[in-house]
Amino acid sequence: MNEKTKGFVARRFKAYYTAAKIHPPREFWQREWGFVLFDQHYADRMVMRRHIALATETDFQNYLREYAPAHVYYSTAIYDDPTADMAKKGWLGADLIFDLDADHMVSEAELSRYSYEELLALVKAETRKLLDFLIHDFGFADTAIKLAFSGSRGYHIHITTESVRGLGSRERREIVDYVTATGLDIKSFLVSDTTEQEHTDEQPRKADKKLIPEGWGRRVHDGLLDFLHELAAMKDEQALQQIRAVGGLERKKAQTILRIAKDETVMHRIENGQIPQFAKPIWTALTETATKFVRVRSADHVDEPVTADIKRLIRLPGSLHGKSSLRANPLTIKTFEDFDPLTDAVVFTSKPLEICPLRDSAITLRGERYTIAKDEIESLPEFAAIYFLCRGAAELA
């Protein structure tokens, strides 16, 4: 980013912060703040100004308006003295934070196969799964959960209730392990199925099992049903490819699973939570496939470093992301479903702006597709032009 471009983007960020009404987090005066400015180092090197405290809401608003940062962060932890060195801050507790990013969902090798829009859809689906875990398995109330778009390729979930403040890194890591099914032993959610013997003198058949209707037992059961119903609606070859893609199974086992999916009698038994005796040889394959289907997807332990880190900095909801120009929109569970980041997080005007592309690139914003080609000067709406400038794909013409 050359100086001309940097100066222009900084002025537009300043205009945003001057007009925007951004709310600080709870106990903001006890949190450490970090800022990346449009300084002489940007964007070749990200230099963060850290160990800053903002004592009043006026200080908070004035800092944003005066410096118009490229990136704004605050600590998930609260401290006695947020301006001190880390060892001397005096940790008092921390919010429970989850950072779901497309980079965590898809391996480096797979990343290039997805469009930006597809990555956003993927991470939204995984965020939806995590919300379900937090509400139904951990018992958090809807009102205790706050969300924010990251401003790039993901979502942040904030839980700020007193009940989580004292959790250490180990307890937070266990939560991540639970939602990602790390170390999960599904056998512990199986019990002997005595449904057919309840009103007879028959002895339970040891091979017949049933998933308990709570926790991961319920999740595997529901995920298994969804997966099998999805397979039953597909053509055979497509279904086999899907089974092998999700479960990594050999073709013979995949064919057995497909036969189960298309057998109405067997499916009825599975709907009642039963695991038919003849399915025992592929039980592991079935449950592992279902687990992959319903767990929160992760290429390398989701957001464990963020969730387990009790002194982490997180992006401020309502601030702008310097590498995209998109707003990190604050959300609730209710507004999350209808939120479209490529429309709702766009803040700049539609006035025409000329840019000189440095490489080929494309983006869909506010329902329109914008494509640029290297070295061909383009006149675009300001919001699209600034996106390409922040991405490093163009300079101001």
Same domain, 50 and 130: yes
Same domain, 267 and 356: no
Give the model confidence (pLDDT) of 296-329 as tens digits.
Answer: 865 444 455 667 778 899 999 999 999 999 999 9
Q: How many structural domains is the chain composed of?
A: 3
pLDDT of residue 37 exceeding 80, the answer is yes
Sheet order of strands, 96-101 included: 96-101, 154-159, 145-149, 330-331
b/e sequence 82-113, b meaning 16+ C-beta within 10 Å:
beeeeeebeeebbbbbbbbbbbbbbeeeeeee
CATH no. for residue 77? 3.90.920.10
Same domain, 244 and 353: no
The proportion of the chain whose per-residue pLDDT surpasses 70, expressed as a percent, equals: 91
pLDDT of residue 14 exceeding 70, the answer is yes
Give the model confidence (pLDDT) of 360-386 as tens digits.
Answer: 999 999 999 999 999 999 999 999 999
Euclidean distance between CA atoms 379 and 397, whole angstroms: 9
Q: Hey, what are 258's tokens?
A: 């497909």
Highest mean predicted confidence (pLDDT) among 121-125, 132-136, 348-352:
348-352
DSSP string of 193-261, one letter each residue? --GGGTTSSPPPPTT-EEE-SSHHHHHHHHHHHHHHHHHHTS-HHHHHHHHHHHH---HHHHHHHHHHH
Work out the mean pLDDT of the chain and round it to a whole number: 88
Single pTM value for the model? 0.86
Same domain, 282 and 391: no
Same domain, 288 and 366: no
Same domain, 10 and 91: yes
Euclidean distance between CA atoms 220 and 212, whole angstroms: 10
Last residue of a domain, one of 254, 273, 294: 294
Last residue of a domain, one of 294, 315, 334: 294
Same domain, 370 and 384: yes
Contact 60/11 with Cβ under 8 angstroms? no
Interhelix angle 264-271/251-261, rounded to 10 degrees, is 80
Same domain, 44 and 69: yes
Query: Domain range spanning residue 103?
Result: 3-178+301-347
Residues with a catalytic annotation lie at 99, 101, 303
Contact 139/133 with Cβ under 8 angstroms? no
pLDDT of residue 202 exceeding 50, the answer is no
Sign of the torsion angle spanned by Cα atoms 359, 379, 3, 17: negative
pLDDT on residue 200: 44
Euclidean distance between CA atoms 271 and 292, whole angstroms: 19
Same domain, 25 and 125: yes
Higher pLDDT, 162 or 202: 162
Same domain, 163 and 270: no
**Distance spanning both ends of the chain, measured CA to CA:** 12
Same domain, 194 and 244: yes
Same domain, 169 and 207: no
Last residue of a domain, one of 294, 315, 331: 294
Sign of the torsion angle spanned by Cα atoms 347, 316, 181, 214: negative
CATH no. for residue 381? 3.40.5
Q: In the chain, where does DSSP find H-type helix?
A: 3-19, 57-67, 102-105, 108-111, 116-132, 162-165, 169-179, 215-232, 236-247, 251-261, 264-271, 283-294, 304-308, 333-336, 341-344, 382-390
